[in-house]
Amino acid sequence: LVGTGSEMHFVGWEGTESLVANAWRTDGTQAGTRRLSNFGLERTFPVEATFVRVGEQVYFPVFQYGLGTELWRTDETAEGTVLVAQCSQPSDFISFHGTLHFFAQVSSTHRGLWRTDGISTTLIASFLGTNRYGFPTVNQAHLWQDQLYFVGGSEDEGPELWRSDGT
């Protein structure tokens, strides 16, 4: 369960033997609980505890067996629950200046800081995906004094502190 404003968002499985899960929202009442997605594909489900509200939209990653994890958003209706970007392994979601900022794969060797308004998705910066020890080189995003700070680096330089004004 993840609270986003006056609602809770959560992942609900379709039956006890199913490999299909969907995104749901609730205001805490039975009448105010409804399914937001109907992926209808086996082994497809939202990734738990990763819902983030940005304005009127709620973003969340969805895993589909064979395709990996992609970014989706909802306007709190089933019809308004749509794929935002086919970016691989989105993580570390942060609402910043009315847009969603997150990390995702750029290529098989690079990971990047991305921004989306729910319509278009833009790569802000790209870094080597892991260092020589296998640890991610882009992670730990935090907002501080109207700037987005994060750790980024390369195999040669190692981890470094970066900041972005969102562009």
pTM: 0.79
Q: Give the single-character DSSP code of 47.
A: P
pLDDT band at 83; cut points 50, 70, 90: confident
CA–CA gap between residue 45 and residue 83 (Å, rounded):
13
pLDDT band at 122; cut points 50, 70, 90: very high
What value does the mean pLDDT take over residues 145-166? 81
pLDDT band at 155; cut points 50, 70, 90: low
pLDDT tens digits, 7-41: 787 777 666 555 667 778 888 898 988 887 766 55
- What SS3 class is residue 27? coil
What pLDDT does residue 43 have? 54
Written as six digits, the tokens of 100 are 């969603």
Indicate the average pLDDT of the chain.
80
Secondary structure E strands in the chain: 2-4, 7-13, 21-26, 34-35, 44-46, 52-54, 57-64, 68-74, 82-85, 91-96, 99-105, 110-116, 121-128, 139-144, 147-154, 158-164
